[in-house]
Amino acid sequence: MTDEIHGSADGLGRPGGAPHAAGRETARATVDLDVIRRNVEVLREHAGSAAVMAVVKADGYGHGLVPSARAAVSGGASWLGVAQLSEAMALRDNGVHAPVLSWLHVPGSDFAAAITADIDLSVSALWSLAEVADAARALGRTARIHLKVDTGLGRNGAFGDDWQILLPAARSLEAERLVRIVGVWSHFVYADEPTHPTVRRQQERFGQAVREAERAGCELEVRHIANSAATLTNPGVAFDLVRPGLAVYGLSPVPSLGDPQSFGLTPAMTLSADLAVTKRIPAGQGLSYGHQYVTSQDTTVGLVPIGYADGIPRNATNAGPVSLGGARHTVSGRVCMDQFTVDLGPQSRAQAGDRVTLFGAGESGEPTAEDWARATGTISYEIISRIGSRVPRVYIGGQQ
């Protein structure tokens, strides 16, 4: 890998941001930016005539905010989506100019900075409409907003009669040119179960809210409700724009309906660590805190220097899969803060420095993030997005 670049732990991908004076890193998350680009190209095909907003919140689901955003744009994403304003500002500070929507704010957010940086803002409630309009008035500018309607999820968005209040309030501020209502949007409860009855109900409620906005005089640029699962399984809800997150990084949001390959996607992240120690251990010896694993034979044990502080679930104890030299093994004993042990078997010739793969694309027999999710009772979203800041992101591919 001659073209690899180390990202900083803050995920902004500044060259030279690798941990200092450490020599070789103990573990790394290798992110293939060409894979992210190709995944977005595939998502564009799934989206039909709708545009693609690549969701890069939570440090690009752990892959690095700015490198992921750049790779997604090179694959044809014409929008980027983030949860928090700080994420949107970080994109702008790093020279990413694509349209950005930010959607999860609290009172007192710096909407003035967002408006100045040409960031589109989601508005779900009267308080945020007022704060955004105040910021626009003070700047002498017009804020671009997307009105969010709660069609049943019960998170953000105006629910029921609140929509009938939010919409005219936004229209009157639009008449003052303080805001421009560019979008109406919502989010599904059960996108991962496309035949669930809530999907149709939410779709109808969304269509109704869009018609009400248009009847009230809104000239909408984009109507959007589809996340990854809806983009891949329910083309009828693409509207003008789809908002895939997980699928951008190549994982399946609907593992029961299909693996990544069945949707044309490839996982972009490989998480690996280098053995710190290998040793012979006799039968009957306990490993790690609490001796939750006891060797059943004379064997070789390897110490893997990555732990729960790095995002490895503690309940991967005796469950998490790894691969070493093409063979599969399982976490043996309790996952610690910085490390865990693996019984490599009596025949193992593994040595300190050998590379252990926790998960990758699965194309060379290694486990996947989905395998880790299944082994630990969670979803692949959590496995990738919780990889900690101590793990350097190493980038391959992309335009560097």
Enumerate binding residues for ligand PLP (CB under 6 A): 55, 57, 103, 187, 227-229, 243-246, 253
DSSP 10: T
> CB of 191: closest distance to ligand PLP in angstroms?
7
> CB of 328: closest distance to ligand PLP in angstroms?
28
Residues in Cβ contact with 296 at an 8 Å cutoff, skipping those fewer than 6 apart: 283
DSSP 8: P
Q: Of 46 and 57, which CB lies nearer to ligand PLP in the complex structure?
A: 57
CB 147 within 8 A of CB 158: yes
Question: Any idea what the Cα angle at residue 149 is, between residues 148 and 154, rounded to 5°?
Answer: 110
Nearest to 372 by CA among 312, 291, 324: 312
Q: Which of 148, 289, 293, 381 is catalytic?
A: 289
Q: How far is CA 171 from CA 214, 218, 228, in A?
A: 11, 7, 31
Q: How far is CA 225 from CA 185, 235, 282, 295, in A?
A: 6, 11, 57, 51
| Residue showing the smallest CB distance to ligand PLP in the complex | 245
> CB of 231: closest distance to ligand PLP in angstroms?
7
Q: Of 29 and 344, which CB lies nearer to ligand PLP in the complex structure?
A: 29
Q: Of 222 and 324, which CB lies nearer to ligand PLP in the complex structure?
A: 222
> CB of 237: closest distance to ligand PLP in angstroms?
13
> CB of 87: closest distance to ligand PLP in angstroms?
12
Cα separation, 330 vs 184, in Å, equals 47
Q: Of 245 and 302, which CB lies nearer to ligand PLP in the complex structure?
A: 245
Q: Of 27 and 225, which CB lies nearer to ligand PLP in the complex structure?
A: 225
Q: Using CB atoms within 10 Å of the CB of residue 151, give its burial: 0 to 12 exposed, 13 to 18 middle, 19+ buried.
A: buried
279 is a catalytic site residue: no
* Residues that are catalytic: 57, 289
